[in-house]
């Protein structure tokens, strides 16, 4: 059985927990109007940087993982399922306009892992250089990426009318994935924890590690559960 690196699972679980809290606040405020308040500071912090950290960690794990193509195809299929479900719900009127997830974090991670399967044998320095180029290029595109058609949305080129609640284009996020892979090769050459002496049976760490090891399932299920709870509270109130 492959030994897991507990601190990576805990960090990934922290990112997933932050994502769930952000979506809970968004659902309660924007979708159902249960509360009327300004978004707390953690909302903006997690929204801006939580996804970047999650993708960096995914890149670190990919640097010593196995079967990246199979894993990438599975995650991409889950992303396409999210697109199908959100598009259908929007078309039926159960979600507001611009609620379809066209290229969210699952699409990005799936494509990144598929691309990684072709790059994994390159030196870590090449990953770092490519990652830096893609990340910088992606941030440059944030101001100049408007085009007249939607066919390059996956890269970061979007038409002016485009909007999506979960959008992670390959530029810059595949760059972060490669930077994470390069960091993983440097930090974990033996594929062992950097903090082996830490007690892992602490309840908080066990909780975060559980969320980290089940991040895909939690991502797929959390929004239907949150929206169902918010709808129930809205009906009761």
Match 């009327």 to its residue by tokens.
36
Task: Give the pLDDT score at 169.
Answer: 94
Task: Give the pLDDT score at 159.
Answer: 86
Match 């602490």 to its residue by tokens.
202
Predicted confidence (pLDDT) at residue 1 exceeds the cutoff of 60? no
Residue-level length of the chain: 237
Predicted TM-score (pTM) of this structure: 0.93
Rounded to whole angstroms, the Cα distance separating 180 from 188 reads 11
Rounded to whole angstroms, the Cα distance separating 28 from 114 reads 36
Task: Give the pLDDT score at 180.
Answer: 97
> Cβ neighbours of residue 105 under 8 Å, at least 6 residues apart?
51, 54, 55, 79, 166, 168, 219
Match 């994502």 to its residue by tokens.
19
């Amino acid at each position: 059985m492959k030994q897991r690196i507990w601190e990576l699972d805990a960090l990934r679980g922290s990112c997933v927990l932050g994502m769930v809290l952000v979506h809970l606040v968004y659902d309660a405020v924007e979708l159902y109007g249960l509360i009327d308040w300004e978004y707390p500071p953690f909302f903006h912090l997690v929204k801006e940087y939580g996804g970047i950290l999650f993708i960096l960690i995914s890149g670190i794990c990919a640097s010593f993982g196995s079967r990246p193509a199979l894993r990438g195809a599975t995650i991409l299929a889950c992303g396409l399922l999210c697109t199908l479900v959100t598009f259908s719900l929007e078309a039926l009127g159960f979600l507001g306009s611009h609620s379809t997830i066209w290229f969210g974090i699952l699409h990005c991670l799936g494509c990144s892992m598929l691309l990684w399967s072709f790059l994994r044998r390159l030196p870590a320095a090449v990953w770092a250089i490519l990652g830096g180029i893609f990340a910088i290029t992606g941030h440059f595109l944030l101001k100049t990426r408007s085009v007249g058609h939607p066919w390059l949305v996956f890269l970061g080129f979007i038409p002016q009318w485009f909007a999506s609640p979960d959008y992670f284009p390959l530029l810059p996020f595949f760059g972060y994935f490669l930077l994470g892979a390069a960091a993983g090769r440097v930090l974990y050459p033996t594929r062992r924890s950097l903090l082996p002496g830490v007690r892992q049976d602490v309840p908080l760490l066990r909780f975060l590690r559980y969320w980290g090891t089940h991040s895909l399932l939690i991502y797929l299920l959390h929004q239907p559960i949150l929206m169902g709870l918010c709808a129930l509270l809205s009906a009761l109130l």
